[in-house]
Amino acid sequence: MKKKILITGGAGFIGSHVVRLFVNNYPNYEIVNLDKLTYAGNLANLADVEDKPNYRFIKGDIVDAAFIQELFETEQFDGVIHLAAESHVDRSIANPTEFVFTNVIGTVNLLNAAKHIWKDNREGKRFYHISTDEVYGSLGKEGFFTEETGYDPHSPYSASKASSDHFVRAYNDTFGLPTVISNCSNNYGSFQFPEKLIPLFINNIRNNKALPVYGKGENVRDWLWVVDHARAIDVIFHKGELGETYNIGGFNEWTNIDLIKVICKKMDKKLGREAGTSEKLITYVKDRAGHDLRYAIDATKIKNELGWEPSLQFEEGIEKTIDWYLANEEWMNNVTSGDYLKYYEAQYQER
């Protein structure tokens, strides 16, 4: 079936994997990628699909309500997969307001535009909002986040994502907008901006730079290979029930310090360095403010109802990921020049 689908934030980390999957798997769909190209957006992430006939890129800001309204009226999208966001917790601590603009107001602008163009016919239409497990707050040593867990965000990032989730549900409840939401755990894989733990540490090891571990490194994250997240998004977009929420996770919990040690060991081998060399770069630094102790997803619902499961074991995924960053030095060097250097200096200055 022919469909015109808007993917927002398609030039970012997860968005680029979602665009790639949809462009390659659905030749009948017209995929429109809308992205502002902030520091995190990079069209080089999509070089392999940019010439495909079913793909188009539009540069634009979801915060610009008039632009979004006009875009929807002109394009008459059948579906929206909304990933555009400010996504880094540390940046949200440094500048919370930007997160309110993009994550909250940007999302509401998209909801308004979809509500307007679909007002007379909602048949086959769908607004899919991509969110995070961080909206649920922090777990203790036991338990998992389910779809029933109450929202308890702690960082400005997670508060802005929680707010956007509430707006999406409110538009479903109040206006009958056909929406669906998913909340995913931490992703890793190719094309992730090196402000996030895994690419940052791979790059620092390569350059013999300190590895700044917040607090004692005891915080736990549940890591999912980004391609498996994109597969889950495909399944939910096509088969998820409207009005529902689906949690997506890797059943793959690691304390930061254990994960970092795995990366160090593998990097020593791959770079031909003596065992233990990279671990010497570990530097414990002042903890992140409001640092959530543990995230862990119960992904039973998506498994039982939609048949999705992660396809890759972590051991294989992290191997592939390290190899990708080592093979794509030019990509890394391009994104770590210019403004990145200013960010890095400001973020890690007090250590």
246/253 Cα distance (integer angstroms):
19
Partners of 169 in the beta sheet? none
Active site residue 157: yes
Phi, psi of 180, deg, nearest 5: -150, 150
**Coil vs helix vs strand at 210:** coil
- The residue among 64 and 268 lying less far from ligand NAD, judged by its C-beta, is 64
Q: How far is the CB of 24 from ligand TYD (least distance, A)?
A: 27
Partners of 134 in the beta sheet? none
- The residue among 111 and 296 lying less far from ligand TYD, judged by its C-beta, is 296
- Is residue 284 a contact residue for ligand TYD (CB under 6 A)? no
Tokens of 134: 């961080």
Torsion of CA 294, 97, 72, 191, to 10 degrees: -50
- Is residue 187 a contact residue for ligand NAD (CB under 6 A)? yes
- Is residue 200 a contact residue for ligand TYD (CB under 6 A)? yes
- The residue among 68 and 322 lying less far from ligand TYD, judged by its C-beta, is 322
- Is residue 132 a contact residue for ligand NAD (CB under 6 A)? yes
Active site residue 279: no
Query: What is the widest separation between alpha-carbon atoms in the chain?
Result: 66
Partner interacting with residue 107 (select from ligand TYD, ligand NAD, none; CB below 5-8 Å by kind): none
Q: What is the DSSP string of 30-61?
A: EEEEEE---TT--GGGGTTTTT-TTEEEEE--
Residues 6+ apart with CB under 8 A from 319: 266
Residues between 139 and 198 with contacts to ligand TYD, criterion CB under 6 A: 186, 196-197
- The residue among 13 and 145 lying less far from ligand NAD, judged by its C-beta, is 13
106 to 35, 65, 191, 198: CA distances (angstroms):
12, 8, 24, 28
- Is residue 63 a contact residue for ligand TYD (CB under 6 A)? no
Q: How far is the CB of 76 from ligand TYD (least distance, A)?
A: 35
Plot region of 302 (φ>0 → left; ψ -120 to 50 → alpha; else → beta): alpha
- The residue among 130 and 168 lying less far from ligand NAD, judged by its C-beta, is 130
Q: Which residue among 7, 14, 68, 264 contacts ligand NAD (CB under 6 A)? A: 14
Residues between 97 and 126 with contacts to ligand TYD, criterion CB under 6 A: none
Residues between 212 and 231 with contacts to ligand TYD, criterion CB under 6 A: 212-214, 219, 221
Active site residue 173: no
Active site residues per annotation: 133-134, 157
